[in-house]
Structures are given as C-alpha cells and as structure tokens.
C-alpha cells in the first residue's frame, strides 16, 4: 500500500508545538501555572514558555518519578503544575501519578508528547502504546488526546480551567490541520465531523485525520460513514456513542495505541452495557512499535486510513440487516 | 500507647516502625511545627509529611494528643468507613498533608511543597520523615538531588534509622552505609542524633532552621519497637502483625500506662 502523500506534505503544526505556544500565551492569565520539565523542554514544546516565562519552568533533570510526585506537592501549596515529558516516561511515573496526584486528588496536569507510533524513528522503546490504558485505569484521572494543533491549543486552556488531575497526549510529528478557528472543545464531549447512516468511525489523536481520509474512500464506494472526533477518552461521551450505535448500527474505533485498554475499549465498554452492536478496532494489535517514519509505521502496524476503510466494511458486513 | 492500642484493635499494623519514630513525632508536633488544629488550611503553616506511611498509627497518636483528631475515633484504625486508614490519606484527614504509603513518594511531594512555597515567597518550612528501608527507593535519590540543586533550605528530612526493615536488617537486605557520607555527597546539611533523646532532637531542629542555601537531613538513630522489651530490635515486629490482648497489656505496661489508661485504650470498643 502506498503512503498518502497529502498527509506527509501537509504542513500542520505539531501538537507539541501548539501546546508549548499556548502555554506561553496563557502564562500571564494563569499566574499559578508552573511547568515541570525533565530535560526535554525542546521536545515537549515547553521551550516556548521557557523563553517567554523562564521563572515558570522548573527543571527536574532526567528523573520523572520525583517530578511526578513533586507536582502533587506544588499543587498542595496552591500552584497549578503541569508535568511535561514523553508519554513513555509518564509510564515511569505512573505510580506517582496514581498516589500523589490522583489519590490525593490534586489539581495537577500531565501533558505527554511523543505518544504512539507517531514518535517515528526513535523506535519501539520510545513509542508509548499503553499510556491511555494505564492512565484511564486510575480513578479520577481525566484522559485527553486532541486531534490537531487547533484542538490542542483549546484543550490546553480547558485543562488549566478544569479542577482535577488530567493526562493529555500531544504529538511529535507535524499533523494535518483539521479544525478552523471556530472549533469548540469541551472536556467529555465528542463531535460529529462527517454525518452518515451506515457506520460510525470514532477516532482520537492522529487517527482523526486518517478517519477523514477513510471517509472519502468509503464515500466513493457509496458507503455513508459518520466520523466522530472523541478527544476525551475519559470520561467518555457515552451519550454520543449510544446515539451513533442506535443510528448507524455499526462502530469502528481508531487510535494510535494498543487495541487493549484505549479508546476502543472505552467505546466497547459503553456499548456492551447499553446498545450492543458490531465494533471493529483499529489500533496496534498488542505489539511494540519499531523505527520508521510515522506514515510508514501506520501502514506497517495497520492504523492508516485503508485499514479504517477495511474495518468499516467488516463492521457493515456484521451489521444486522 | 495510642499506636499500640490502635494496632491491637485493628488486628494488624506495623508497631516497630511506629514506636521508633514516636519521640521524633512528639517533638515535631509538640515543639517544632508551626501548625495548629485550627489552622490546618493556613497557607503559611509548616508542612509535615510522613513519607514512611506505614507508621500511620504513630502519626494518628500524635494527632490525637495534639488535638488534630479525636483520640477515641483514631483507635478505629484500618476499619471500613474509618478515616484512619492503614496509611495516611489526605482526603480523609486533611492535616496529614498528603497521602503516603508507597515509599519515596512523600519525600518528592515534600520537595514539591518546599519548591512551591519558595516560589510563592512563603516562610513556611517543610518536614518529611523517611524510614531507613525507604532509602532503597531510587526516587529518594532523585528527590535528594533535586532539593539540593534547587537549594531548598526550607526542607528538612528526618531519617528514622532503626536499622531494620520488613524482612531483616538493612545491611543484610541492601546496605545503606555510609549513610551520612551519601547525604553529604548530595550536598545536604547533615546531622546525626539519638532519635530518642528529646534534647538532641530539639537541638537538631534548631540547627536546621539556621541552615542556608541547602536542605537538611537529620539522621536519627532509633530503636525499632522502642519502649517495649519484647519488640525492641526484633525485625518480625516491623511487618503487619496481630497483637494479642496479653501482648498489648504487656506493651502498655512497659510504656508506663496507668490502669485508667489501659482501660481507656483497651476497652474502648
């Protein structure tokens, strides 16, 4: 299968850059905001804030466990801390996030860049495909994965205004711009981006633009797919999922994450308990990643647009006539 | 006495490590910490974090004695619907400052508090009590490095150095020595004291307040199970144990309980 050249050529901002620029623009509005860095501000987008507001960035060195729990202490004395590192190193501080942030119900945020296969050339060791599942299992933890730079900017503001612990993914690679300036983001809400009656594709993060590409292909085949952007994985928009299941009768989920425990699982949990219908899961099939360019990896591991198209066809076939 | 009685009523708990730090907790709440029951949400209060969360019965006993919680209620340790969980939880008891139990984390939280208070230009001080076995957690040394790097002079760590941990002596499980040299190498102000000598504990606190540009550690040499002859220095009393009525009475007698106190602690439920 060939790589869609439109996606490689699209010059959208990366989500991490959007996050960093937004932090810098919001720092004056949020005087208690403080960002914790583990020697990768250049990679997480935090270098923008370090330039504009150096006093707001606290260096922890390459020591994520201490950084994660220290954020709990900062929140306890009234600051608004954001822990920033790569998604894979958030897993290293998982137990600290559990006890010192979530269990103590601290108003602290974790923003993880470099999630999933989108990491690309750094390879399997660096590609967190388990983070959504892990953080979603922590009680009281909100989990967000925005789809493009515009949504990342909006989500960054939203998590600062939200009271409670949040885990948010950004992304390493330049991402196609999906949303214009009129886009709205609300924690816990999904949106229908393309309407259709035959099958619903529910996606998050980098998979949203792939779902939109899949929609074009399906449309050409006469299949009317609905595309839903689901940036909040927890708490998930159960109402919208049930509505889509009732109206289209078949669901496809798409995520740059292991098929176990992520968006697909969250959607299936809702449906199994309410409106059972065929669900096809597009995601990495319980394996580790590898080096390569993100689009090559998406083809190799089966999360590119053609795989979403295939999944939609399978879901349709399973649908009750 | 309160900790022993609560562990007896609970049917489980860690008596050895609670007793080894009881004198330190008494000095902290009795003399050092700038915090009072009516000011537990005062932004300029001092903060104390029990990083060795398994010594919760000693913290609850100190809290009961100094008026942060009700003594009788605090005897309902480790019971369903009791806020006095096996390890301290800040949503149940705001005065415990943070939730602990997973070793190493309380220290990092204290580092974050000290950093945050410094950024907010508050004069509050932060104290954290760590166990010796806890020092085997890698996170402890991440926290130690970060506190020194950021010059957290408002942070004081106290190590309850009772030389024993869950399964055996520290030096058999994973050697800690040379302990003072390790902290000096991390550029902390270090003092070593007898952790059961009230004058030495108080003098050490006076000394750390005067430390500038660096955090302080007080290495308090203690005796596990202090005050109860059959427990002293016996590792098996570290872990979660069940105390019989007879053992509890014996322990309370060794700690000098009067008949009235024995009745107060033992016949409460």
Task: Express each pLDDT in A66-90 by its tens digit.
Answer: 999 999 999 999 999 999 999 999 9
Interface contact flag, B98 A105, Cβ < 8 Å: no
Inter-chain contact A72–B98, Cβ cutoff 8 Å? yes
- Domain boundaries of chain B, sorted by first residue: 17-71+85-231
Q: Which of A63, A69, A95 sits opposite B112 (nearest CB)?
A: A69
Which pLDDT does position A11 carry in this prediction?
Answer: 53
| Residues 26-55, chain B, touching A (beta carbon < 8 A) | 43, 47
Q: pLDDT by residue (tens digit) across A28-51? A: 999 999 999 999 999 999 999 999
Architecture, CATH, for domain B17-71+85-231: 3-Layer(aba) Sandwich (3.40)
Q: What is the pLDDT of residue B162?
A: 96
Query: How far apart, in whole angstroms, are the C-alpha atoms of residue A243 and residue B209?
Result: 62
On the 0-12 / 13-18 / 19+ scale of CB atoms within 10 A, B22 is buried
**Residue A316: φ, ψ to 5°:** -60, -40
Which of residues 100 through 129 in chain B touch A, CB cutoff 8 A? 100-102, 104-105, 108-117, 119-120, 122
Per annotation, catalytic residue among A17, A29, A55, A64: A64
* Per-residue pLDDT tens digits of chain B, which is 269 residues long: 999 999 999 999 999 999 999 999 999 999 999 999 999 999 999 999 999 999 999 999 999 999 999 999 999 999 999 999 999 999 999 999 999 999 999 999 999 999 999 999 999 999 999 999 999 999 999 999 999 999 999 999 999 999 999 889 999 999 999 999 999 999 999 999 999 999 999 999 999 999 999 999 999 999 999 999 999 988 888 778 899 999 999 999 999 999 999 988 998 87
Among chain A residues, CA nearest to B115: A74
Among all residues of chain B, which has the CA nearest to that of A57?
B119
Q: Reply yes or no on whether the pLDDT at A97 is more than 70.
A: yes
Distance separating alpha carbons of residues B143 and A67, to the nearest angstrom: 8
Tokens matching residue A262 = 């992520």
B149 touches chain A (CB under 8 A): yes
pLDDT band at A206 (very low <50, low <70, confident <90, very high): very high
Are the beta carbons of A61 and B104 separated by less than 8 Å? no
Q: Which residues of A48-70 are buried (b: 16+ CB within 10 A; e: fewer)?
A: bbbebbeebbbebeebbbbbbbb
User: Which chain A residues are within 8 Å of B43, Cβ to Cβ?
Assistant: 77-78
Find which of B106, B112, B141 to mutate to test the A interface (most A CBs within 10 Å of its CB).
Answer: B112
Name the DSSP class of B190.
Answer: E
Q: Give residue A321's pLDDT.
A: 62
Q: What is the pLDDT of residue A3?
A: 39
What's the complex ipTM? 0.96
* SS3 at position B158: strand
Taking CB atoms and an 8 Å limit, are A104 and B119 in contact across chains? no
Domains belonging to chain A, first-starting first, are 5-169 (3.40.50.970), 191-318 (3.40.50.920)
Burial class of residue A192 in the structure, from the number of CB atoms within 10 Å of its CB (0-12 exposed, 13-18 middle, 19+ buried):
middle
Under an 8 A CB cutoff, do B89 and A103 touch? yes
User: Quick check: B122 and A95 CB within 8 A?
Assistant: no
| Residue A64 designated active-site | yes
Cβ distance A76 to B105 less than 8 Å, yes or no, reads no
Alpha carbon distance A116, B248 (integer Å) = 56
Contacts of B142 in chain A (CB under 8 A): 60-61, 63, 65-66
Tell me A229's DSSP state: E
């Amino acid at each position: 299968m060939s790589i869609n050249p439109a996606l490689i050529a699209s010059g959208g901002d990366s989500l991490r850059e959007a996050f960093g620029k937004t932090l810098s623009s919001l720092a004056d509005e949020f005087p208690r905001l403080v960002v914790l860095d583990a020697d990768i501000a250049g990679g997480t987008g935090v270098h923008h804030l370090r330039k504009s507001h150096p006093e707001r960035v606290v260096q922890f060195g390459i020591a994520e466990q201490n950084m994660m729990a220290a954020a709990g202490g900062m929140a306890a004395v009234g600051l608004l801390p954001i822990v920033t590192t790569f998604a894979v190193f958030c897993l290293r501080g998982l137990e600290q996030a559990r006890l010192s942030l979530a269990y103590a119900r601290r108003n602290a945020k974790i923003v993880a860049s470099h999630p999933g296969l989108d990491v690309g050339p750094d390879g399997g060791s660096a590609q967190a495909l388990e983070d959504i599942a892990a953080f979603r299992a922590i009680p009281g933890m909100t989990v967000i994965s925005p789809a493009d730079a515009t949504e990342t900017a909006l989500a960054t503001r939203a998590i600062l205004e939200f009271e409670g612990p949040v885990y948010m993914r950004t992304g390493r690679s330049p991402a196609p711009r999906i949303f214009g300036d009129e886009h709205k983001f609300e924690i816990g809400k999904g949106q229908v981006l393309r309407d259709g009656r035959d099958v619903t594709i529910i996606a998050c993060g980098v998979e949203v633009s792939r779902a939109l590409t899949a929609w074009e292909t399906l449309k050409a085949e006469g299949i009317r797919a609905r595309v839903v952007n689901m940036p909040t994985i927890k708490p998930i928009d159960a109402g919208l999922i049930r509505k889509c299941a009732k109206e289209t009768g078949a669901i496809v989920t798409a995520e740059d994450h292991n098929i176990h425990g992520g968006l697909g699982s969250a959607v299936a949990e809702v449906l199994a308990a309410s409106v059972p219908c065929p669900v096809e899961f597009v995601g990495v099939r319980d394996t580790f990643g590898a080096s390569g360019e993100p689009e090559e990896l998406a083809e190799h591991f089966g999360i590119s647009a053609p795989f979403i198209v295939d999944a939609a066809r399978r879901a349709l076939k399973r649908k009750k006539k | 006495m309160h900790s022993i009685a609560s562990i007896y009523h609970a049917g489980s708990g860690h008596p050895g490590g609670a007793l080894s730090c009881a004198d330190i907790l008494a000095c902290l709440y009795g003399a050092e910490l700038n915090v009072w029951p009516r000011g537990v949400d005062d932004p300029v209060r001092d903060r104390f974090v029990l990083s060795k969360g398994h010594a919760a019965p000693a913290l609850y006993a100190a809290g009961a004695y100094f008026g942060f919680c009700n003594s009788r209620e605090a005897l309902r340790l480790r019971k369903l619907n009791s806020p006095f969980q096996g390890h301290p939880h800040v949503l149940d008891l705001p005065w415990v400052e943070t939730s602990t139990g997973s070793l190493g984390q309380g220290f990092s939280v204290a580092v974050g508090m000290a950093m945050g208070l410094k950024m907010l230009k508050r004069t509050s001080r932060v104290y954290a009590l760590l166990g010796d076995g806890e020092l085997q957690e890698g996170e402890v040394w991440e926290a130690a490095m970060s506190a020194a790097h950021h010059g957290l002079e408002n942070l004081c760590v106290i190590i309850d150095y009772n030389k024993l941990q869950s399964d055996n002596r520290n030096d058999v499980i994973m050697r800690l020595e040379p302990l003072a040299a390790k902290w000096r190498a991390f550029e902390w102000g270090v003092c070593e004291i007898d952790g059961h000598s009230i004058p030495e504990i108080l003098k050490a606190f006076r000394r750390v307040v005067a430390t500038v540009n660096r955090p302080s550690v007080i290495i308090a040499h203690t005796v596990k199970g202090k005050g109860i002859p059959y427990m002293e220095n016996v590792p098996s009393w570290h872990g979660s144990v069940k105390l019989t009525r007879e053992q509890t009475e014996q322990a309370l007698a060794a700690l000098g309980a009067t008949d009235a106190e024995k009745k107060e602690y033992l016949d409460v439920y």
